[in-house]
Structure 1
Amino acid sequence: MLVSLAEYAKKHNKSSDTIRRYAEKGHMHSARKIGRNWVVELEEPYPVAKRPKAAPITLISLFSGCGGMDMGFRGGFDFLGRHYAKNGIDIIWANEIDKDACITYRQNLGDIVEGDIYEVIGQLPKYADIVIGGFPCQDISINGKMAGISGKRSSLYSAIVETVEKVQPKIFVVENVGGLMLRKHDESRRKILADFSALGYKIHYQVYHAEDYGVPQTRERVFIVGTCEDMPAYIPPQETTLFKPLTAREAMEDLEDYPRDKAFSHIWSEAKASKDQGNRKLIADRPGYTIRAECHGNIQFHYSLARRISMREAARLQSFPDSFVFPAGLRATERQIGNAVPPVLAWHVAQSVLAVLQNR
């Protein structure tokens, strides 16, 4: 039954002017003019205004590895019974030089540009809201050469500096090992901070202990965060498991009777104990020890089984969800897991980044 806009408005407890605007904008399917007056079907549902979708926050990722940091920033995964929600971040460009890591990244996260960053840097998008990157740490790590940023690999941080200068993001996040804070690396640290500060960003840096953020592993990492001068200050995320960290047993116990399964990456090294390295055994009731990239099969022994931990167990200690696929062989997977930023730690850092971008 056709009725006047006033009658329709009265039924829905709205003003006639509001209904008229909807009719004039075409939001009411049955509304039409008869002479100079609008009419509408009385039973037409009241139009619900669609909220415009918020534009996604865009991100460029450098030295992406297999995608641990990227997964954390993107969100939308489950780990040990907790859901880590999507963050509304769109990874528009990622880069990694390692072929196997790129294969893993593509299977889990999507497109990635494979190649030396300096050979592909010209392909960078013109803009992104966020730039992230964990530059190679082998020259800074305690387990590495300790050459600092004069080393061939850790000097690659300059590619992140160049990217930030080109893209001018609102915020950037750079990750490296805790060894960057050692006195031996004072000069390297000052140089890195000075180079980023020179781009006009407010710089915040500190050491994060992964076990304090729901990662079942003791792992120290430095995050350097730069924000535009006109944006709120970056405030680090609050610890979530500061006084009760997740243990190795909590992370791995359900896999103790699980058979070898290559598709699930539940495979392990058969390397025997060595007097030089590879003798460390997990303790069930504490977090796992730091997962290394270059342990050459000498990864830690299981806390109760007569074998070394599997790649899936190592991935659990790094907070990768079981849905994350590692298609490479054992050694390549070992390197990818050991090089990665724990996704859960990255997710918490991302919450603080979002707070800056959303002025919360």
Structure 2
Amino acid sequence: MKPKIVSIFSGVGGIDTGFSHAGFQTVFANDNWQNACDSFKANYPDAEVVCASIADVDFKEIKKKYGDIDGLVGGPPCPPFSKSRFYRTDKKRGLEDESGFLTVSNYFRALEELKPKFFFFENVAGFVYKPHQAALEMVQSESQRLGYKIVYRVVNAANYGVPQIRQRFICVGVRKDMPDFIFPEETHSELGDETHKKWVTCGDVIGNIDFDLPEDKDKQAGSKHKELLKLVPPGDNYLFFTKERGYPEPIFKWRSRYWSFLLKLSPEKPSWTIQASFSNNMGPFHWKNRFLRIQEIQRIQSFPDDYVFLGKFSDQWRLIGNAVPPVLVEVVAKQIKNEYFK
């Protein structure tokens, strides 16, 4: 019998896919975006999927229905804790943001009502930044109050075999009567060595996909800067055109744009973070000066090729960009499975 997990803030199921590959079964999933719920159900037809606010989910009833739950998994929506909030003076940060407090507090309400053996909590790397100290302290104090001991760290997905440099905060909590959880060792590094494989690159996963289709005339990679994009070397961005980089007639000032502006992938490196929003001039773009295709960012996020994403192009992009790379989750989930469910 597979250990049972309840999934919240499920999105399209990146976390669930990692746990599924490690031998767990999602019995219940929740999200408040209908397209995410429909896509999740298409991939996990045996799971109960409820599309509603987390505040409206009765987890005591879920436990009555499915019996003892082994694990709670989920990544509360991250905008309130993201780096971008440092620049958005019009919006509150962390727990001061109503949605930030709502999601984190309801995560621990679910934990209290389900009383699982373990929990998996994921968020952006900014969760550990000093301005968000209250959120991290809430995770620590609520875990303590509910009888769980936790281990957390910021990890780079590329160091676990994902072809993407993506920093994420991962916290694993287990009941106090269980052995301490030990994070799995990193399996990959940039150059590789005796104990690590080399990073998986974009060329490794999308170099053999032939998607050189004609560009949509209304949506060209780079937008009004499409000609500049063609000049950017693979692995570089708009900084190529700055005085500091020695460009003869500088076009942009140093660090005047987002890092992803005119950012182009290199086939010799992992991708940079695939974000949830799609833009005409924000990369990463393919090294052949075009937009990435859904099938390509799907591989960069380490989803199986047969995984289903519903909705229009921008919806599918958002589903993938918001997800946690399944390969990263699988490494952690296997460690949980081997330690506590032998």
The corresponding residue for 1:338 is 321
TM-score (norm 1): 0.75
Do residues 177 (structure 1) and 118 (structure 2) align? Answer: no
Change in Cα spacing, 1:149 to 1:269, as seen in structure 2 (3 Å) is farther
* Greater alpha carbon shift after TM alignment, 92-101 vs 306-315: 306-315
> In 2, are the aligned partners of 1:213 and 1:239 still within 8 Å (CA)?
yes
Structure 1 unaligned regions, length at least 5 = 1-54, 76-86, 261-267
Letter in 2 for 1:150: E
More off after superposition, 316-325 vs 144-153 = 144-153
RMSD between superposed Cα atoms in Å? 2.1
Aligned to 1:56: 2
Q: Is the 8 A contact 1:137 1:153 kept in 2?
A: no
Distance in 1 of aligned mates of 2:23 and 2:292: 35
* Structure 1 match to 2:241: none
Q: 1:140 aligns with which of 77, 81, 84?
A: 81
C-alpha displacement of 1:153: 2.5
How far off its partner does 1:298 sit? 4.6
Alignment of 1:71 with 2:23, yes or no, is no
Aligned counterparts of 1:317 and 1:143: Cα–Cα separation in 2: 22
Q: Does 1:90 align with 2:29?
A: no
State the identity as a percent.
Answer: 32
Q: CA deviation at 1:188?
A: 2.2
From 264, 273, 280, give the equivalent of 1:290: 273
> Quick check: 1:309 aligned with 2:292?
yes
Higher helix proportion, which one? Answer: 2
Matched, 1:104 2:39: yes
Task: Tell me, in whole angstroms, the C-alpha distance in 1 between the residues paired with 2:95 and 2:164.
Answer: 27
CA distance in 1, matches of 2:211, 2:25: 39
Shift of 1:90: 1.6
Check conservation: 2:118, 2:175, Cα contact below 8 A.
Answer: yes
Residue of structure 2 equivalent to 1:357: 340
**CA–CA distance in 2 between the matches of 1:269 and 1:98?**
26
Give the residue type in structure 2 aligned to 1:158: S
Deviation for aligned residue 1:336: 0.8
How many residues matched? 287
User: In the alignment, which residue of structure 2 is the partner of 1:43?
Assistant: none
What SS is found at the alignment partner of 1:307? coil
* More displaced 10-residue stretch of structure 1: 288-297 or 327-336: 288-297
Conserved 8 A contact 1:72-1:345: yes
CA distance in 2, matches of 1:70, 1:252: 24
Query: Cα–Cα, structure 1 residues 143 and 298, in superposed 2: closer, same or farther, change >3 Å?
Result: farther
CA deviation after TM superposition for structure 1 residue 356, in Å? 2.9
Q: What does residue 149 of structure 1 align with?
A: 95
> 1:104, 1:133 → 2: CA distance?
17
Can you give the 5+ residue segments of structure 2 that lack an aligned partner in the other structure? 193-197, 226-251
CA contact (8 A) 2:272 2:284 kept: no
The alpha carbon displacement at 1:205 in A equals: 0.6
User: Displacement of 1:225 after TM fit?
Assistant: 1.0
Residue equivalent to 1:49: none
Q: Map residues 154-165 of structure 1 onto 2, 5 A cutoff.
A: 154-155=100-101, 156-165=103-112
Aligned partner letter, 1:70: D
Moved more, 274-283 or 248-257: 274-283
Instruction: Give the deviation of 1:355 after TM superposition.
Output: 2.5
> Partner residue of 1:124?
62
- Give how far 1:325 is off: 1.5
In structure 2, give the amino acid aligned to 1:60.
V
- Higher Cα Rg, which structure: 1
> C-alpha displacement at 1:160, in angstroms?
1.1
Q: Give, in whole Å, the separation in 1 of the partners of 2:334 and 2:280.
A: 35
The answer to which structure, 1 or 2, has the higher relative contact order (CA under 8 A, 6+ apart) is 2
- Which deviates more, 250-259 or 226-235? 250-259
- In structure 2, the partner of 1:193 is 140
Partner of 1:229 in structure 2?
176
Query: SS where residue 164 of structure 2 aligns?
Result: coil
Partner of 2:80, secondary structure, is coil
Q: How far apart are residue 98 of structure 1 and its match?
A: 0.6
Q: Check conservation: 2:263, 2:285, Cα contact below 8 A.
A: no
Give the match for residue 28 of structure 1. none
Moved more, 161-170 or 123-132: 123-132
In structure 2, the CA distance between the partners of 1:341 and 1:206, relative to structure 1 (3 Å rule), is: same
Question: How many Å separate the matches in 2 of 1:279 and 1:197?
Answer: 45
Contact 1:269 1:310 in 2 (8 A): no
8 Å CA contact 2:32–2:54 kept in 1: the answer is: yes
Query: Is 1:216 aligned to residue 216 of structure 2?
Result: no
> Contact 1:202–1:229 at 8 Å: present in 2 too?
yes
Runs of 4+ that moved beyond 2 A: 120-127, 143-146, 256-260, 268-271, 273-278, 294-299, 301-304
Q: Deviations over 1:41-67 (max 9, x none)?
A: xxxxxxxxxxxxxx3211000000000
Opposite residue 124 of structure 1, the aligned amino acid is I
Q: Distance in 1 between matches of 2:324 and 2:285?
A: 22
